[in-house]
Structure 1
Amino acid sequence: MSLLKVSGLGKSFGGVKAVDGIDFEIAAGELLALIGPNGAGKSTTFNMVNGQLRANAGSIRFDGHELVGLRPRQIWRLGVGRTFQIAETFASLTVVENVQMALLSADRKLFSMWRRAGDYRRADALALLEQVGMAGQADRPCSVLAYGDVKRVELAIAMANQPKLLLMDEPTAGMAPGERNELMALTKRLVVERGMAVLFTEHSMDVVFAHSDRVIVLARGRLIAEGTPLQIRDHPKVQEVYFGTGKTFEKAAKKEAA
Structure 2
Amino acid sequence: MSLLKVAGLGKAFGGVKAVDGIHFELAAGELLALIGPNGAGKSTTFNMVNGQLPADSGSILLNGQELVGRKPRDIWRMGVGRTFQIAETFASLSVVENVQMALLSVDDRLFSFWRNASDHKRDEALDLLAQVGMRAQADRPCSELAYGDVKRVELAIAMANSPKLLLMDEPTAGMAPKERNDLMALTKQLVVDRGMAVLFTEHSMDVVFAYADRMIVLARGRLIAEGKPLELRDHPKVQEVYFGSGKTFEKNQAAERVAPTPVESVA
**TM range, smaller chain:** over 0.9
Report the equivalent of 2:263: none
Report the equivalent of 2:103: 103
Matching of residue 188 in structure 1 with residue 188 in structure 2: yes
Report the equivalent of 1:72: 72
Alignment of 1:132-143 (within 5 A): 132-143=132-143
Report the equivalent of 2:48: 48
**236-245 vs 24-33, which moves further:** 236-245
In structure 2, give the amino acid aligned to 1:190.
L
How far apart are residue 250 of structure 1 and its match?
Answer: 1.3
TM-score (norm 1): 0.98
Report the equivalent of 2:261: none
Report the equivalent of 1:128: 128
TM-score (norm 2): 0.95
How far apart are residue 114 of structure 1 and its match?
Answer: 4.3
Q: Distance in 2 between matches of 1:38 and 1:218?
A: 10
Structure 2 spans left out of the alignment, 5+ residues: 259-267
Report the equivalent of 1:198: 198
In structure 1, give the amino acid aligned to 2:41.
G
In structure 2, give the amino acid aligned to 1:207.
V
In structure 2, give the amino acid aligned to 1:40.
A
**156-165 vs 104-113, which moves further:** 104-113
Q: Distance in 1 between matches of 2:97 and 2:198?
A: 25
Report the equivalent of 1:118: 118
Report the equivalent of 2:235: 235
Q: Distance in 2 between matches of 1:223 and 1:155?
A: 28
SS of 1:257's partner is coil
How far apart are residue 256 of structure 1 and its match?
Answer: 1.2
Report the equivalent of 2:9: 9
How far apart are residue 61 of structure 1 and its match?
Answer: 0.4
How far apart are residue 234 of structure 1 and its match?
Answer: 1.7
Matching of residue 25 in structure 1 with residue 35 in structure 2: no
Report the equivalent of 2:257: 257
Equivalent residue pairs, number:
258
Deviations 1:153-193 (A, max 9, x none): 00000000000000000000000011001100100000010
Structure 1 spans left out of the alignment, 5+ residues: none
Q: Distance in 2 between matches of 1:145 and 1:4?
A: 34
Q: Distance in 1 between matches of 2:24 and 2:80?
A: 17
Q: Distance in 2 between matches of 1:52 and 1:179?
A: 29
SS of 1:237's partner is helix
In structure 1, give the amino acid aligned to 2:199.
L
Report the equivalent of 2:156: 156
How far apart are residue 56 of structure 1 and its match?
Answer: 0.6
How far apart are residue 112 of structure 1 and its match?
Answer: 1.6
SS of 1:246's partner is coil
Report the equivalent of 1:178: 178
SS of 1:128's partner is helix
SS of 1:26's partner is strand
Q: Which runs of 4+ in 1 moved over 6 A?
A: none
Q: Distance in 2 between matches of 1:13 and 1:120?
A: 43
SS of 2:111's partner is coil
Q: Distance in 1 between matches of 2:217 and 2:173?
A: 19
SS of 1:206's partner is helix
Report the equivalent of 2:62: 62
How far apart are residue 257 of structure 1 and its match?
Answer: 2.1
Q: Distance in 2 between matches of 1:207 and 1:93?
A: 31
In structure 2, give the amino acid aligned to 1:50.
N
Report the equivalent of 2:247: 247
In structure 1, give the amino acid aligned to 2:225.
A
Alignment of 1:84-99 (within 5 A): 84-99=84-99
In structure 2, give the amino acid aligned to 1:29.
G
